Amino acid sequence: MKPYPRVAIVGAGFGGLQAAQSLARQKVEVTLIDRHNYHTFIPLLYQVATAQLAPEQVAVPIRTLLRKADNLKFLQATVKQIDFVAKEIKTDKNTLTYDHLVLATGSQSQFFNVPGAAQYTFKLKTLNQAITLRNHLLSCFEQANLTSDYALREQLLTISIVGGGATGVELAGSLVELITNSLHRDFPQLKPQEVKLLLMQSGDRLFREFPPSLGDYTAKKLRRLGVKVMLGSKVTGVGADSFKLDDGTEIASATVIWAVGVEGAMPKCFPCPKPRINRQVNVLPTLQLADHPEVFVIGDLAHVPTQEKSLAGVAPEALQQGVYVAKAIRKQVQGKRIKPFSYFNKGRLAIIGGYSGIGQIAGIKLQGFVPWFFWLAVHVVYFPDWRNRLMIFLTWLHNYLIGDRPVRLILSSPKSPSC
Amino acid sequence: MKPYPRVAIVGAGFGGLQAAQSLARQKVEVTLIDRHNYHTFIPLLYQVATAQLAPEQVAVPIRTLLRKADNLKFLQATVKQIDFVAKEIKTDKNTLTYDHLVLATGSQSQFFNVPGAAQYTFKLKTLNQAITLRNHLLSCFEQANLTSDYALREQLLTISIVGGGATGVELAGSLVELITNSLHRDFPQLKPQEVKLLLMQSGDRLFREFPPSLGDYTAKKLRRLGVKVMLGSKVTGVGADSFKLDDGTEIASATVIWAVGVEGAMPKCFPCPKPRINRQVNVLPTLQLADHPEVFVIGDLAHVPTQEKSLAGVAPEALQQGVYVAKAIRKQVQGKRIKPFSYFNKGRLAIIGGYSGIGQIAGIKLQGFVPWFFWLAVHVVYFPDWRNRLMIFLTWLHNYLIGDRPVRLILSSPKSPSC
């Protein structure tokens, strides 16, 4: 009997994981490769950073998700080199060959050469980064509570977010809730008004991917919650405890969060031709590489030429591309023609905080409580694991009904021993 | 109005936390000091190490537990020096003075000068240590799954536990469950029989604090579960991937867990006179220092002379001493006489695994399912926070009814970047 074709998938984010799951029990041998042994549900990372959810609640072991099908294997490894001609992948653990390859390594932060941005800002693309930010924020409050130095206290209590897209807005809203619900109970000496939340957006409105009226609504809502929304403010430099704006202002801030700028997470060792300016890979409308039709690129890493305007780097795109690529590989195995990928846009939702969100579904604009509630519901429904769904649901009940953030642990190793 | 007397408590384990909570709304100003911002429920740490519970489920922010009372303050700091004469505590953050002091820094691992033990073994006294052990165990399975080198595979799949007390037995039982329930589903290529679990005990029976018949029952039960119980085996040296026994045998083992030997966690900077051989502090029957009656020592750090036999370093002792010391301080403030501390032993339970436990309550020996169930029930009931109680309960239902360990995340930062 002829062995089944081998499919290698690099990256177990939304796209890669979906591709593997859509190939379950098909006549292919699938190896899903990731450097972590868990899938991260990235849209909820900001809730880990703000002590709303526990890290374990937004991550699922990949092996749990692949268990049901015998033809799906997992390899925890870091890819070192890919040879498209020999169809060979070298990892830090071993070398494997493939017949079909899916590249789904996602995106990473882009810093636009702003001095200090890469070094000093907090990012929110991985679970470790979310935990690091949580530890830092809670430590700043502990330190601010102790100091009588007014300037230091102000610096520790100034939290600055660079970028007025989904991540920036979500973070701002969730931080407001953390401060008004939990922190004033933990630190009666610190007044909630002492905490300054800055949201910097270089453009003239928030949420550029939504209609202007929804961006305006978001800014109004955040301002009412106490966030200083700074439109037309460009960050030109970041230091250890401060940052600079293009008008020359320097603002003391112990926490600068980088929530703007995404580029394809294409390691230099991937020999993809002509990367675009944001390090995405140019693919055909069938998500194949022009020179290597057995190589597919999906998710944030892919630049689909015909859909430049509509693809926004959100999870549903990666999920649909994962389903598509699984079908495409099955057709390729059968020698059939592959139809171009087309994205079905079900609409978009974004959460602000304080029981408010925005959305656009089938051309209808939504704002207020309804899209807020939908956002939470959709994210529970799309979570890939039943157990975490229940845990997240219970934790949100606790968050929103009791108004508390129970996971306020500073879990980094202590810097100094006990004495 | 005269200010209230100031009580400083160093350490927020069972003893220190209970002392603070028992002083809530009393006419004293309490500062509870700990280097972490959370209380760790140490009896469940082994379940974090074996991917049964999430770290956040066995830890509670200390500020959550102190919120209800205005006279309880928390200070996250590392104590650097204590001056019993000036009644002054220097921490890495500030300096504070006290009228009454409670030392409750607990215990730490003791290595009996076994070469390599401190450096190479995994410990289980802190939350970070439990997470480190979980990451390591899961990584060993990932590595063993990849290698075709038989000797390396055997080394990676040999887990050795030094010490046949509660921690050692609990770990062994919980590891058996992890391997038989979850790991063979994750790694169909690895057979459960390939995993070797060794439990070394230098004495001639397990659980020396229980009657011999219960120790024998435990050994029989563990052996039936597949654990190699090695009585009369003394570890004389530990290397990076192996250890030596006193009979000269050298055993290759990627994981050596140190579950024996406890000493008082008394930092060298504490000027306590004449420490005992295991670094505990000698106290009067009232838990006071002879020379400094305003200083109390409780929990694992205290050596109570009259009760040498009965005190075994378990949580109920620390809890009762916490309640006692709060009363004693109130009497001291009122100028009243303090009666000696006496421990009320409600009995003891220990969990083995595979639905079995042992116990001794009011002289009655228990073994099998009943003490197993009691152990779990008691630990849920004694957990200091409602939310975690519910989360632990739900996770145990999942563990024991569905037979799975959902929290199998390797959450350490990856050693190398993606390329």
Contacts of B394 in chain A (CB under 8 A): 390-391, 394
Residues listed for chain A: 419
User: Is there a contact between A150 and A156 (Cβ–Cβ < 8 Å)?
Assistant: no
Residues 123-152 of B with CB under 8 A from A: 127-128, 131, 138, 142-143, 146
Contacts of A89 (CB under 8 A, 6+ apart): A8, A10, A33, A79, A81, A82, A83, A95, A96, A97, A98, A101
> Per the CB < 8 Å rule, is A55 touching B411?
yes
pLDDT tens, position by position, A36-62: 999 999 999 999 999 999 999 999 999
Q: How far apart are CA A238 and CA A170, in angstroms?
A: 22
pLDDT in tens, A206-245: 998 899 999 999 999 999 999 999 999 999 999 999 999 9
Question: What residues of B are labeled active site?
Answer: 170
Nearest to A419 among B185, B268, B411 (CB): B268
Residue pair A297/A9 in contact (Cβ under 8 Å)? The answer is: no
What pLDDT score was predicted for residue A269?
67
Pick from A138, A146, A186: CB nearest B93: A146
Name the minimum distance, in Å, from the CA of A34 to any CA of chain B: 10
Q: Which residues pair with A193 in a beta bridge?
A: none
Picking from A55, A185, A417, the nearest residue to B67 by CB comes out as: A185
Closest CA to B97 of B108, B86, B106: B86
Residues 250-269 of A with CB under 8 A from B: 265, 267-269
Is some CB atom of chain B closer than 8 A to the CB atom of A63? Answer: yes
pTM for the predicted model, two decimal places: 0.94
Does B335 contact A at CB distance below 8 Å? no
Residues in contact with A67: Cβ distance below 8 Å, sequence separation at least 6, in sequence order: B185, B186
Candidates A170, A177, A263, A317; catalytic one:
A170
Evaluate whether B202 touches B172 at the Cβ level (below 8 Å). Answer: no
The answer to whether the Cβ–Cβ distance between A78 and B54 falls below 8 Å is no
State whether B37 and A409 contact (CB < 8 Å): yes
CB spacing of B398 vs A410 below 8 angstroms: no
Which residue from A56, A70, A409 is facing B409, i.e. has the nearest CB? A56
Lowest mean pLDDT among B64-78, B106-120, B272-286: B272-286
Comparing CA positions, the residue from B35, B407, B105 lying closest to residue A410 is B35
Interchain pair B36, A414: CB under 8 A: yes
What pLDDT score was predicted for residue A404? 87
Cβ under 8 Å to A: B residues 67-126: 67, 70, 75-76, 78-80, 92-94, 105
List, in sequence order, the alpha helices (H) in B115-245: 117-120, 127-146, 150-156, 166-177, 184-186, 212-225
Nearest-Cα residue of chain A relative to residue B270: A419
B61, B105, B138: residue with CB nearest A408: B61
Domains and CATH numbers, chain B: 6-35+77-109+262-333 (3.50.50.60), 117-260+347-402 (3.50.50.100)
Instruction: Give A166-210 pLDDT, tens digit per residue.
Output: 999 999 999 999 999 888 899 988 988 899 999 999 999 999 889
The span from the CA of A148 to the CA of A279, in Å, is 47
For residue B266, what pLDDT band results from cuts at 50, 70 and 90? Answer: confident
Mean pLDDT of B262-288: 80
Question: Can you tell me whether residue B33 is helix, strand or coil?
Answer: strand
* Distance (Å, whole) CA B167 – CA B172: 9
A279: left (phi over 0), alpha (psi -120 to 50) or beta: left
Q: Give alpha helix (H) positions in A78-165.
A: 117-120, 127-146, 150-156
Q: Is the confidence at residue A416, as pLDDT, over 60?
A: no
Chain B 366-405, residues with CB within 8 Å of chain A CB atoms: 385, 387-388, 390-391, 394, 398, 404
Q: How many CA atoms lie within 13 A of B34 on its CB side?
A: 26
Whole-angstrom Cα Rg for chain B: 22
pLDDT for position B123: 96
Decide if A411 and B79 are in contact by the 8 Å CB cutoff: no
Contacts of A390 in chain B (CB under 8 A): 394
Residue B268 pLDDT more than 80? no
pLDDT number for residue A277: 67
Give the ipTM: 0.93
Q: Residue B308: pLDDT above 60?
A: no
Nearest to B419 among A36, A269, A391 (CB): A269
Counting residues of chain B whose pLDDT is more than 70, the rounded percentage is 95
At B38-95, the pLDDT tens digits run 999 999 999 999 999 999 999 999 999 999 899 999 999 999 999 999 999 999 999 9
Q: Which residues of chain A does B138 touch, with a Cβ-Cβ cutoff of 8 Å?
A: 37
Residues 6+ apart with CB under 8 A from A363: none
Q: How many CB atoms lie within 10 A of CB A122?
A: 21
B36 CB near a chain A CB, below 8 Å? yes
CB atoms within 10 A of CB B345: 16
Query: How close does chain B come to A161, measured CA to CA in Å?
Result: 24
**Nearest-CA distance from A269 to chain B in Å?**
7
